[in-house]
Structure 1
Amino acid sequence: MVAKKLSVTMTKSKHGRLKSHQECLKGLGLHKIRQSVEVIDTPENRGMINKIAYMLKVEEV
């Protein structure tokens, strides 16, 4: 079984955000604006993405 992947791009700055939102960015591996990472589509990653969806762009790979 091949795991689905998501391409996640940070579109807004992490400065001035809630600590928990900054931790979600760190958990997804995002550090800079316009940085993209590929993450496996798991409930844990989906939860972090949903929490900070206002500062991300998400695409299925």
Structure 2
Amino acid sequence: MLGVIAQFVGDMREGHAKVKMSEVKKHLHATYFAWAGRTNDDAPSQAWYASMEVRR
């Protein structure tokens, strides 16, 4: 999950990204991930949805 989050956080400035990843790691135990859509490349244009939530 950290790899997925890092893809989005990587768009931030380096200093901000480091702070955000530190926060993410601190709350990783309370993070939930949901995926809706295909899991293979048979239909790459198929719609998909992903959601992450931190429950504190």
- Please, what TM-score do these two structures have when normalized by structure 1? 0.29
- Please, what TM-score do these two structures have when normalized by structure 2? 0.30
Q: Which of the pair is proportionally richer in helix?
A: 2
Q: Which has the higher contact order (CA 8 A, sep 6+)?
A: 1
Q: Which of the pair is proportionally richer in strand?
A: 1
CA radius of gyration, larger in: 2
